[in-house]
Amino acid sequence: MSEIKDNLRYTENHEWVKLDGNKAVVGITDYAQDSLGEIVYVELPETDDEFSRGEEAASIESVKAAAPVYAAMGGRIVEVNEELEDAPEKVNEAPYEAFIYVMEVSNPEEFNELMDSSAYAAFLEENEH
Amino acid sequence: MSNKRTPLHQSYRDMPGVKIVDFHGWDLPIHFSEGIIAEHQSVRNAAGLFDVSHMGEFIIEGDDAEAYVDQLVTNSISTMESGEVKYTFLCYPNGTVVDDLIVYKFSPTQFMLVVNAGNVEKDFSWVEKENPIAQSRDTLPAVKNQSDAWALLALQGPKAESVITSILPEAGDIDFFRFRDDLFLDDIPLLVSRTGYTGEDGFEVFLNADDAPEIWKRLLEAGEGEGLKPCGLGARDTLRLEAKLPLYGQEISDSITPLEANLGVFVDFEKPYFVGREALLKQKEQGIPRSLRGLEMIDAGVPRQGYAVYSGEEQVGVITSGTKSPTLKKFIALALIKRGIGLKVGNEVEIDIHGKRKKARLVKTPFYKKSGRS
């Protein structure tokens, strides 16, 4: 059973989002890291890169495959988790601590359109077979 | 439509941590509880057990079986001894590859072809009727598809011999690329060959589907003290890539010839005829346009199949397979690269990874070679 945190919001692409004022911290969920398997590389965005919601912002590579990380909300990258450059396995070990990037969001209202923890739990259940 | 399952599916589907994925219409484990890297290392340092029952097996039988197989595949079959195994290709008349396969010679009148799971139906039609030899002849040897009736286990790694001989002592006498089809464990009949797809010593065990769960269990038990782990498709792929063993659809395909993939050693031009000979000979004489090379990343990034390779502004090739090598702890790739442009081992090229040019260098292959057997 995948871990889901109550205080976060979620996308259908299995990103988690924490909003703090107009800053969104984004990572991938426990379900996502478990599906990907052992992560060997995280291609981070660059600071000041701008993305619309849903655009590909980063890429996570496991032994087996590459998975895009989308911009969970629209905005400008203000921080990336450089620790992941040398230790991508942190995403496997602690997916809710190993954020990928922090974004200054253009429209904080977008946050309310994301799934809350119970909606995400239901979403996962629907997609499990 | 539901996926196919091997006779071993029940044996591991409820193991904690196993992850089952779709592979060419089969439900197969990509890894077990400890993950791809740990499984990879167990095969390099101890032993691993793979369920490869999805592979296809055809039996070809008849007075002219030897001549028929010899004309169908690129390698020499008539020079094989009974009990010998050979790696070879089925080619189209244009020299590209229908499939790569292993031929087992029981006798001049009986052979087994072991083919890729994703190609079983295509290969069977090709071998049974669609190839140019079959098209031009009235009678052919009988071709039977045994794929669903048989299971196949691969026991691989430096400890494979001690694991298998602890329950099947005769297996230790089988030489590399040889097999025995007269072995029994209790009353279970086994065909055992000294073959594999990992770059390590190892054995492949063919058996009736119904007997597979028992032998799977017996081998895992026999390997308990030796560090044997059940392994999935993920480790199979990283192991074969480090050893530069080709994968159909990546290094070879219906648009790549064996010569382009540097596999000419498995093409015997001494034979007067085989399907594809004329086209391959012409390619050899006129100049093979590209060659399979090894790359190692200098910049950070994971090279994957289909990514373009550049030398300066010119695209000179394409990645066929890439991964993080668990043995070397580096990002490695195989690439089909233009010949005759002076690229040497040590030279730098660039790979387009997600729209960014990342530096890599040409390196010697295989990336990994086991130390010599004593």
| Interchain contact B20–A (C-beta under 8 A) | no
- How crowded is the C-beta side of B333, counted as CA atoms within 13 Å? 33
Q: Is A31 left (phi over 0), alpha (psi -120 to 50) or beta?
A: alpha
Residue A114, min C-alpha distance to chain B (Å): 27
Does residue A129 surpass a pLDDT of 70?
no
Optimal mutation site among A40, A51, A84, interface B, most CBs of chain B within 10 A: A40
Where do the H-state alpha helices sit in B96-232?
A: 120-125, 132-135, 160-165, 212-222
- C-alpha distances in angstroms, B255 versus B96, B249, B282? 6, 9, 16
Dist. CA B353–CA A28, nearest whole Å? 21
CATH C-level class of B4-53+149-242: alpha beta
Percentage of residues in chain A having pLDDT higher than 70:
98
Burial of A10 (0-12, 13-18, 19+ CB in 10 A): buried
Read off the pTM: 0.94
Q: Given an 8 Å threshold on Cβ–Cβ distance, is A41 in contact with B234? A: no
Strand partners, B50: B154, B231
Domain ranges of chain B: 4-53+149-242, 56-145, 289-363
pLDDT in tens, A61-97: 998 888 999 999 999 999 999 999 999 999 999 999 9
Domain ranges of chain A: 9-106
Show Cβ contacts of residue B35 under 8 Å, excluding neighbours closer than 6 positions: A37, A38
SS (H, E, C) B180-197: EEEEEECCEEEEEECCCC
What is the H or E stretch that residue B286 is in? Answer: helix B277-286
Dist. CA B351–CA B19, nearest whole Å? 31
In a structure prediction context, what are the per-residue pLDDT tens digits for chain B, which is 374 residues long?
A: 689 999 999 999 989 889 999 999 999 999 999 999 999 999 999 999 999 999 999 999 999 999 999 999 999 999 999 999 999 999 999 999 999 999 999 999 999 999 999 999 999 999 999 999 999 998 999 999 999 999 999 999 999 999 999 999 999 999 999 999 999 999 999 999 999 999 999 999 999 999 999 999 999 999 999 999 999 999 999 999 999 999 999 999 999 999 999 999 999 999 999 999 999 999 999 999 999 999 999 999 999 999 999 999 999 999 999 999 999 999 999 999 999 999 999 999 999 998 999 999 999 999 999 986 54
Residue B198, min C-alpha distance to chain A (Å): 16
Strand partners, B353: B356
CATH C-level class of A9-106: mainly beta
At the fourth CATH level, the homologous superfamily of domain B289-363 is: Aminomethyltransferase beta-barrel domains (2.40.30.110)
3-state secondary structure (DSSP) of residue B92: coil
- C-alpha distances in angstroms, A15 versus A25, A98, A99? 10, 12, 10
CATH C-level class of B56-145: alpha beta
Query: In chain A, where do the E strands start and end?
Result: 9-10, 15-20, 23-28, 39-43, 50-51, 56-62, 66-70, 75-80, 101-105
ipTM: 0.84
